Amino acid sequence: MADHFLTKSRLDRGQCLRVGDTIALELYPALHAALLRHAGEAAAALFAEPLVSRGNDEAEGSVTWYTEFPGAGTPLSQLDEGARAQVSDRLRAALAPLPALSADPEIGPLIAAALTVTGEDDFWAVQGAPVIVNWGMEPAGGIRDAAAHRARTFGPFLPAAASSPLPGAAAAAVGAGAGIAAAAAAAPASAAQPPEEDPAEGETGPPAAEPAATRRLPVIAWLPLVLLLLLSGGLLAWLLVPGNRLFPVASGTDASATAEAVAMAEALNRDLETRLAALQDNLEGAQCLADGSLVVPDGRTLEGLLPPDPADPADRAGAVAPGIPSPVLPPAPERTRVQPAGAEAPLPLLELLEARTALVVATAGPDMSTGSGFFIGPDLLLTNHHVIAGAAPDGIFVTSAALGRAHAATLVKSSGPMETTGTDFALLRVEGVSQPEFEIYAPQGSLKLRSVVAAGYPGDVIQSDAQFQALLGGDMTSAPDLIVTDGIVNSEQDYRGGARVVVHSADVSQGNSGGPLVDSCGRIVGVNTFVNRGELRSWNFALSSESLLAFLQSAGAEGTVTRAPCVPVVERPAAARPSGAPLVQDGMLTLPPRGSE
């Protein structure tokens, strides 16, 4: 009924007047309906709608009051004289029908309770309309002087009520404090009726009113509660039926989805057990070098690194052995390995990601969505179809810290949605840019247990970024910080619809869609597309580089493809190597003679 917040007041249950066994505040729907039917819209709109919070051990109870009039409200006592007089006139006119209704045996007790308030500041004005709050309540500590309280509250608006008591039946029905409400609500017509004769003198008076304890609400008043209970019971029964859920999967796929998740978990456990066994075998015969490195019998560290070359003091890096499935770190910016003549030093992985990954903003009128994308050509950016689906032709923008500002983008080709086509790609041309591009890795074997990094702009992280807020505010030179997560490849699958997907453990969420999934050398191995929240855990899915290359070919774009294995260079702290330190030669560990320096 009432949608606009007006004010909030403290609730003490002892202040609440009762009608029968229920406090008057909880009978607001009945009050509003009765006033609307018998006194008109102006009277019904007088009484603010209460939202009762009973409180607990940590928070006191309260009543939040709502009205159908929009705008801020002001107590009548704070209005200037002219405005107060106008609102008071409207209040008197709206209250005029109520005294007669308070004598009605059905609705009279409730109206009598509503005509009791806690004080004179309970009369408000909202956009020139009168509104009453704290009705059905006594002031804290009760009412000690009924006449004075009537004069301060309803007296200016129902002056005849100050000397016109309500018939005792209605007063008894309201309970404690109802005499105040009854007196305030007494009808002029009842005051004009002839006084009752004393039965002791032989005259028969009017029949006695029904005691409050025996009065009951009409049956129809219980109908909403009965319907609510039936609805709640039906909903609970539906939720208890196996297979029902808030977001059901397609019919007939529950069992297979669970079996698939269990199979993936078991496969991952087997791979981890195999890796653990290999590491344990390598520990047999391992030796510690003087610089603290642990070297296994094949001359490498447990991470698959070659120890530093003792003949080259600047050698602080080692190459990872191909096929070693250990997580590795990207090369650090301060790397000092001397490169062969003419060779280009590899970029640190983070710098590579930041130069090639971008935020995609898609707009359609007032609506906006964000996703991620990456460059596969100087001005060609790849993202997901669902990131830009529905965007206006001129409503796609791309930005990043490397780009320096937001640039408009146009759609070259898209393929989707995933549910019907088995693909989810979109190729964009970004105006006025020439960015470095990712290499796309076409693997010759399985990627399982390979280290991977996901990069992008998940909405639940960038929403707290001040640069993103500045971008939303119109600063086109601002861009949020790139978010990176790491993990390993768990599985490679042929997904429903024919798509080839990579399942991995690098955390992604909404907003990562269309972003790159790269190996430790920074080559694209997948396009992050969706998350499957299974019963056992959540799984992150990326469309494979194989599917990506097929889409690029259909779009007339090539991209840079590589099939070389990933052999990243990993930085390690420099360590002084004393004379006679153990060396690794031809894969064999040679220890210095005992007693040597």
pLDDT tens, 368-389? 899 999 999 999 999 999 999 9
- Provide the 3-class DSSP secondary structure of residue 591: coil
Across the chain, mean pLDDT equals 77
pLDDT band at 104 (very low <50, low <70, confident <90, very high): confident
Which of 32-36, 102-106, 170-174, 576-580 is most confident? 32-36
pLDDT of the residue at 254: 53
What stretch of H or E contains 234?
Answer: helix 223-240
pLDDT of the residue at 160: 54
214: CB partners within 8 A, 6+ apart: none
pLDDT of the residue at 532: 87
What is the chain's length?
A: 597
pLDDT band at 298 (very low <50, low <70, confident <90, very high): low
195: CB partners within 8 A, 6+ apart: none
Q: How many angstroms separate the first and last alpha carbons of the chain?
A: 91
At 205, the amino acid letter reads G
Q: CA–CA separation, 478 vs 465, rounded Å?
A: 10
Look up residue 38 and give its two tokens: 């018998």
CB atoms within 10 A of CB 3: 10
pLDDT of the residue at 13: 79
388: CB partners within 8 A, 6+ apart: 360, 362, 371, 396, 411, 414, 426, 428
Q: What is the 3-state secondary structure (H, E, C) of 176-220?
A: CCHHHHHHHCCCHHHHHCCCCCCHHHCCCCCCCCCCHHHCCCCHH
pLDDT digits (tens, 9 = 90+) for 446-458: 999 899 999 999 9
pLDDT of the residue at 100: 86
At 566, the amino acid letter reads C
What stretch of H or E contains 108?
Answer: helix 108-114
Weakest-pLDDT range from 105-119, 266-280, 290-304, 350-364: 290-304
pLDDT of the residue at 277: 79
Residue 248 above 90 pLDDT?
no
- Provide the 3-class DSSP secondary structure of residue 540: strand
Weakest-pLDDT range from 52-61, 109-118, 192-201, 345-354: 192-201
9: buried, middle or exposed (CB in 10 Å: 19+, 13-18, 0-12)?
middle
Q: CA–CA separation, 262 vs 254, rounded Å?
A: 12
Give pTM, 2 decimals: 0.45
Domains and CATH numbers, the chain: 4-193 (no CATH), 262-322+587-597 (no CATH), 349-567 (2.40.10.120)
pLDDT band at 178 (very low <50, low <70, confident <90, very high): very low
User: DSSP state, 305?
Assistant: B
Mean pLDDT value of segment 509-523: 94
- 417 cis-preceded (ω within 30 degrees of 0): yes
Mean pLDDT value of segment 169-186: 38
Look up residue 413 and give its two tokens: 């080709």
114: CB partners within 8 A, 6+ apart: 24, 31, 47, 132, 135, 136, 181
User: DSSP state, 70?
Assistant: -
Adjacent-strand bridge partners of 19: 22
Higher-confidence position of 8 and 338: 8
pLDDT of the residue at 243: 61
pLDDT band at 181 (very low <50, low <70, confident <90, very high): very low
pLDDT of the residue at 188: 36
Which of 76-85, 172-181, 341-350 is most confident? 76-85
- The answer to whether the beta carbons of residues 221 and 181 sit under 8 Å apart is no
pLDDT of the residue at 340: 41
Adjacent-strand bridge partners of 135: 117
pLDDT of the residue at 259: 77
CB atoms within 10 A of CB 380: 22
Q: CA–CA separation, 5 vs 11, rounded Å?
A: 17
Place of tokens 């690029």: 552
Q: Which has the closest alpha carbon to 482: 450, 451, 516? A: 516
Weakest-pLDDT range from 193-202, 468-477, 551-560: 193-202
Higher-confidence position of 347 and 217: 347
Mean pLDDT value of segment 492-514: 90
Question: How many Cα neighbours within 13 Å face the side chain of 348?
Answer: 11
What stretch of H or E contains 545?
Answer: helix 545-554
- The answer to whether the beta carbons of residues 502 and 542 sit under 8 Å apart is yes
Look up residue 212 and give its two tokens: 């409050």
Residue 323 above 70 pLDDT?
no
Q: CA–CA separation, 112 vs 134, rounded Å?
A: 14
Which of 53-62, 325-334, 532-541 is most confident? 532-541
What stretch of H or E contains 470?
Answer: helix 466-472
- Provide the 3-class DSSP secondary structure of residue 332: coil
CB atoms within 10 A of CB 588: 10
Residue 440 above 70 pLDDT?
yes
Q: Which has the closest alpha carbon to 88: 54, 119, 129? A: 129
Longest dimension (CA), the chain: 134
pLDDT of the residue at 533: 83
**3-state DSSP percent of the chain in helix, strand and coil, to 5:** 30, 25, 45
Look up residue 155 and give its two tokens: 């007296």
Higher-confidence position of 512 and 171: 512
Q: CA–CA separation, 505 vs 489, rounded Å?
A: 7
pLDDT digits (tens, 9 = 90+) for 454-481: 999 999 899 999 999 999 888 999 999 9
pLDDT band at 166 (very low <50, low <70, confident <90, very high): very low
What stretch of H or E contains 415?
Answer: strand 407-415
Mean pLDDT value of segment 235-252: 64
pLDDT of the residue at 292: 60
Residue 591 above 60 pLDDT?
no
Q: CA–CA separation, 398 vs 400, rounded Å?
A: 7
What stretch of H or E contains 500?
Answer: strand 500-504
Q: CA–CA separation, 331 vs 78, rounded Å?
A: 70
What stretch of H or E contains 45?
Answer: helix 41-46
